[in-house]
């Protein structure tokens, strides 16, 4: 199934993916077909796959340094991990996902797209500590920040950044997680906006720096 990328979405996709836009389009086709068939994406989300999912995730690349290693926790349908891998071939990305059916799908997509900068680890985030080295940990729709810090910050081994894609509750989530953030030695916690001027709805990101 072809999901058109038009108007402002096409402007944003061209700016973010550049000459790798055909790869992003092929990824969206996977989401709209086998992704739905296997329950990774809801069918009602198809019309907004570009805006709500792919561009929303890929925009976060602006906050990741050149050549960084990234661990994407709870990858599911590759959001945001595969979006980042397509947009930024310089990044080394490990997708961490515990459910076998999702891992199988991720392997199929990565192979089809020929993404050489992606590794896939079937594991819970807690068990991935020590198996993955990362400068940055990403997470989207995994849990509230107060629970997320427990399963993401240990992967960084004391230095690096967590980029958590959040919504309107970001400020409140930071308040609730403050004690835990202090316990982990977080130097700074801030709310950022990705895709400003490109996306109709810029992405809200909570960045925790150790």
Q: Which residues are documented as binding site for S-adenosyl-L-methionine?
A: 74, 79, 125-126, 140
Helical spans, DSSP H, in 34-144: 34-37, 56-58, 81-87, 100-113, 125-128
Q: Is 172 left (phi over 0), alpha (psi -120 to 50) or beta?
A: alpha
What interhelical angle do 21-32 and 100-113 show, nearest 10? 150
Residue 179's φ and ψ, nearest 5 degrees, are -65, -45
Using alpha carbons, select from 14, 1, 4, 128 the residue that is nearest to residue 75. 128
Neighbouring residues of 125: CB distance < 8 A, sequence distance ≥ 6: 73, 74, 96, 151, 152, 155
Binding residue ranges: 74, 79, 125-126, 140
d(CA 208, CA 210): 7
Using alpha carbons, select from 165, 164, 169, 167 the residue that is nearest to residue 151. 164
């Amino acid at each position: 199934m072809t999901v058109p990328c038009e108007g402002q979405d096409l402007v944003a996709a061209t700016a973010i993916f550049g000459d790798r836009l055909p790869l992003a389009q092929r990824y969206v086709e996977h989401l709209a077909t086998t992704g739905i068939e296997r329950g990774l994406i809801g069918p009602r989300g198809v019309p907004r796959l570009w805006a709500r999912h792919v561009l929303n995730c890929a925009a976060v690349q602006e906050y990741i340094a050149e050549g960084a290693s990234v661990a994407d926790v709870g990858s599911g349908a590759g959001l945001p991990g595969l979006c980042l891998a397509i947009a930024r071939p310089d990044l080394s990305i490990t997708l961490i996902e515990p459910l076998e059916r999702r891992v199988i799908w991720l392997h199929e997509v990565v192979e089809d797209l020929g993404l050489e900068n992606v590794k896939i680890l079937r594991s819970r985030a807690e068990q991935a500590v020590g198996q993955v080295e990362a400068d940055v940990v990403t997470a989207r729709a995994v849990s509230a920040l107060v629970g997320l810090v427990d399963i993401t910050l240990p992967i960084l081994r004391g230095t690096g950044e967590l980029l958590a894609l959040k919504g309107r509750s970001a400020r409140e989530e930071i308040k609730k997680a403050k004690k835990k953030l202090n316990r982990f030695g977080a130097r700074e916690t801030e709310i950022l906006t990705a895709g400003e001027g490109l996306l109709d709805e810029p992405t809200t990101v909570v960045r925790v720096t150790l």
